[in-house]
Amino acid sequence: MTAAALATASPAAAKTLGFGHAPEHERHHFVVAMPRAQSADIMIYEVFERDLVGPELIAANLRCKLDRGRWLKIVDALEEELNRRLRAAGMKPSRFKVGDNPLARLLGKELVLLAWAIEDADPALIPNAIQNWRGLAMEERWWLYTMTAAQTGHYSKSNVGWRKAVRYALTENPVVAATVPLTSAEHRRRERLPERETRSQGALFRGMSDPQAPLVGAPGIWDER
């Protein structure tokens, strides 16, 4: 497909994987790897080349590791927000499943920003992080991700510099306190555990934009307009 054809292609007609990743439109994307084992960490990668896999990907592009408990507290909010954006762009929604879950580049940046905010946070503050993350415009999320990744993007640099600042900004910014029930993802996990045991025994940065704009086609998914 030519560049001109890609620029005018309908997002609804594009072949996408996971949350809006269209391989023909952009190589640069993100992947959320969900192991089948319930005790295993969730791994989030930023992928620049289609064929970069294995140890090289982990060494260079692993952005965040989340324990399963923290992931279950944010996955419902993530699916709701990402799918809202995909539907608005005329694209099919998705769900996070066991295995590799690709995301369009811009959506991946927003997901990682929330993951960074909670990776070392008190779990009791995660609802604050979700509310404050929801309150940011998408352009603000992109800008915060870009600034943070430039200095402390690798997963091993948690709790340093911008990563620490993101955590404080999203978890400790005042919000209305509330009793937070279990998320549906947490309920589903609790329902599955007995079966498994039986079988086996703020608007601060408005106007900031991402400097690497892909082809036109899906505002807020592949491009910033």
- What is the CB neighbour count within 10 angstroms for residue 144? 25
This prediction has a pTM of 0.77
Mark the ranges of the chain whose per-residue pLDDT is less than 50.
1-8, 177-179, 195-216
Residue 12 half-sphere exposure, CB side, CA atoms within 13 Å? 4
pLDDT for 3 equals 45
AA identity, residue 84: R
Cα 19 to Cα 17: distance, rounded to the nearest angstrom: 6
What pLDDT, in 10s, does the model give residues 15-32? 899 999 998 888 899 999
pLDDT for 119 equals 96
